[in-house]
A and B are shown apart, each in its own frame.
Chain A
Amino acid sequence: MAGILDIRRRIRSVRNTRQITRAMKMISAARLRRAQERALSARPYAQMLTNVLKSLVMRAEVYDPETGEPRHPLLAQREEKTILLIVVTGDKGLAGAFNANILKAAMRFIQAKEGKNIDIEAVGRKARDFFRRRFPVAPVEQPEITEAAEEPLTPAPRAENRSGAVQIVGEHVGILGRLEFAQGKALGQSIIERYTRCEIDAVYVLYNEFKSVVSQRVVVDEILPTAQIGASAVLQAEEMAEQEKLRMAEAAQSAGVSISEADTKAIDERAAAFAAAPVDYIYEQPPQELFRSMLPRYVELRVFHTLLESVAAEHAARMTAMDAATNNASEMIDALTLAMNRVRQAKITKEIIEIVSGAAAL
């Protein structure tokens, strides 16, 4: 049996670990709160943009009235031959099953789409490392270099020199820590360019959707072609297990983060009124032109939103994981303290027996 000193040393070490995990939990909680706020303050813009686009769809005749063909390249539906899959994970680990769940879902998606070419755009260090180990990187780096030379709307010859059916075309590491709209925009722009050049036929984003701490799921969202404005086209979704939800809620409560969805009714109502007044607007530009310049922004905004939500979800996952780790450490300290007392008791008892039997022998 271990001596008292050994046990005492272990208790001290576990206590130190607990201190670290507790600090990490509080940090994640603070970051989560900030991420939630950011997601919230991004809402009015998104809602308003959606509104205007919706009302424009009716006026701008984006669909040819005779053939029903869409007039905007981002609305064009093509047969899915090459798919762009954006996988959003975190840059760091120690977030429970957060990254693993997303990557597992990504592998399932890739298997389900077998036979088609899949381009992977990895966001987050974990996604990059994971896919690098499995799939080759695309042979042609930086598609932007050829961009200026080409006519933007003519279908470019598809790159036949793929590294494989599944290849990595882009990596974005370190953008999640200080996320700004410009980053979402850049990513959005690059996919729009590739889509209009017909290099890809569909764009999906795989990420952890975050509505509130207890309402999260890993989803695959179809971003292009834009089927219906304002509606998200979720293909594959995995809800959190009930048990996990409970743990999330517990962790949030102990860290002082609100678990309910923030009250956005006032904002939403105001935003919903945007460009929806029952009056005849004067359009400074022809509706069609407005629509053309707005649709790409809409796509960029959706990309930005997925990143925002994923960041919030990552912090929530890390907070929960660290809460669990802190609890485990506490339990371990209790168990070790019990063991230590038992050893000490046994030692005392042994000593008394020795003294008593020694006295009896006299």
Chain B
Amino acid sequence: MADTIQLEIVTPERLVVQDTVAEVQIPGKNGYLGILPGHAPLITELSVGEISYGVNGFTHYLAVAWGFAEVLPTKVTILAETAERSEEIDVERARRAKEKAEQMLHSSDPNTDFDRALEALKHAEVRLDVAAKRGVVAGA
């Protein structure tokens, strides 16, 4: 059996990642999934969260908002609405987005869309988390 997985991450704007990896972790809607080569075929929706994958002992991180993934024994394809590598994340912007979402959650305006604000908050937090993991070596 093959001991690597072909990983592809696609967004509406571009192909973000195309790589051969040893393992992938994806934020499934019902919880995180760790995928190793030889996984059973699976289709899942993704929630807001981080994707991490290991290549040659390095772990790479990405922040994703909604998407879904197809898992095959030797291939993982992820369609994400947004996917940003940790080094691409604009920390300043993420922080501002977080503040804005928090403000919306605490406002007394009856028209606030709480679901959307919560999702925005979560997305901003994930982006900050992922940005903080920039260049971390796995196991270190």
Q: CB distance A284 to B29 under 8 Å? A: yes
Q: CB distance B45 to A285 under 8 Å? A: yes
CB of A280 within 8 Å of the partner chain: yes
Q: CB distance B45 to A284 under 8 Å? A: yes
Q: CB distance B111 to A148 under 8 Å? A: yes
Residues of B within 8 A of A (CB-CB), count: 28
Q: CB distance A149 to B41 under 8 Å? A: no
Q: CB distance B10 to A45 under 8 Å? A: yes
Q: CB distance B43 to A283 under 8 Å? A: yes
Question: Which residues of B from 34 to 49 have beta carbons under 8 Å from A?
Answer: 40-45
Q: CB distance A42 to B72 under 8 Å? A: no
CB of A113 within 8 Å of the partner chain: no
Task: Give the docked Cα–Cα distance between A275 and B42 (Å).
Answer: 9
User: Which segment, of A1-9, A16-24, A46-54, A67-75, faces chain B?
Assistant: A46-54
Q: CB distance B43 to A45 under 8 Å? A: no
Q: CB distance B110 to A148 under 8 Å? A: yes
CB of A145 within 8 Å of the partner chain: yes
Minimum distance in angstroms from A275 CB to a CB of chain B? 5
- Complex: chain A residue closest to B30, CB-CB: A284
CB of A297 within 8 Å of the partner chain: yes
Q: CB distance B10 to A48 under 8 Å? A: yes
Residues of A within 8 A of B (CB-CB), count: 35
- Complex: chain B residue closest to A42, CB-CB: B12
Partner among A144, A180, A282 whose Cβ is within 8 Å of the Cβ of B42? A282
Chain A residues near B45 (CB, 8 Å)? 284-285, 289-290, 293-294
Partner among A41, A46, A279, A293 whose Cβ is within 8 Å of the Cβ of B14? A41
Chain A residues near B110 (CB, 8 Å)? 148-149
Q: CB distance A290 to B77 under 8 Å? A: no
Q: CB distance A284 to B111 under 8 Å? A: no
- Complex: chain B residue closest to A48, CB-CB: B79
Partner among B11, B42, B79 whose Cβ is within 8 Å of the Cβ of A181? B11
CB of B53 within 8 Å of the partner chain: no
Minimum distance in angstroms from B122 CB to a CB of chain A? 16
Q: A48-B77, A282-B42 are in contact. Are A38 and B13 (CB under 8 A)?
A: yes
Q: Which of B42, B43, B72 has the most CB atoms of chain A within a 10 A radius of its CB?
A: B43
Given contacts A48-B77, A274-B70, A293-B66, list 9 more A-B pairs with CB under 8 A: A42-B14, A49-B79, A275-B43, A275-B70, A277-B72, A281-B70, A282-B43, A285-B45, A290-B45
Can you list 29 pairs linking A and B with CB atoms under 8 Å apart?
A: A41-B13, A41-B14, A42-B12, A45-B11, A46-B12, A52-B79, A145-B111, A147-B111, A149-B110, A181-B11, A181-B81, A279-B41, A281-B43, A283-B42, A283-B44, A284-B29, A284-B33, A284-B42, A284-B44, A284-B45, A285-B30, A285-B44, A285-B45, A290-B43, A290-B68, A293-B45, A294-B45, A294-B68, A301-B12
